[in-house]
Amino acid sequence: MPYYQTWEEFARAAEKLYLTDPMKVRVVLKYRHCDGNLCIKVTDDAVCLQYKTDQAQDVKKIEKLHGKLMRLMVSKESGAMETD
């Protein structure tokens, strides 16, 4: 289970993996305040991609990717969303 060294590579691989089979892929976020780190995992139970960080600046990037994947999951064909 490899931990990616660069955020760029991880983000690209994660999105690519999700697009191959949206129904199979799940995203897991594990946060440990006592150790001060956050780990994100994207897997389809065959391939597993992981990224770990203790930098606050990475939190925003992880947040964005997480939100992006969420949006992909709930977007319909027409692309309509956030109808608040």
The reply on whether position 82 binds other proteins by CB under 8 A is: yes
The reply on whether position 45 binds other proteins by CB under 8 A is: no
Pairing label, strands 48-53, 26-32: unpaired
Query: Minimum distance from CB of 12 to other proteins (Å)?
Result: 19
Closest by CA to 25, choosing from 40, 2, 47, is 47
Q: CA-CA distance, 79 to 68, in Å (whole number)?
A: 13
Residues at the site binding other proteins, with contacts judged by CB under 8 A:
22-23, 25-34, 36-38, 54-57, 59-60, 63, 66-67, 69-71, 73-77, 80-84
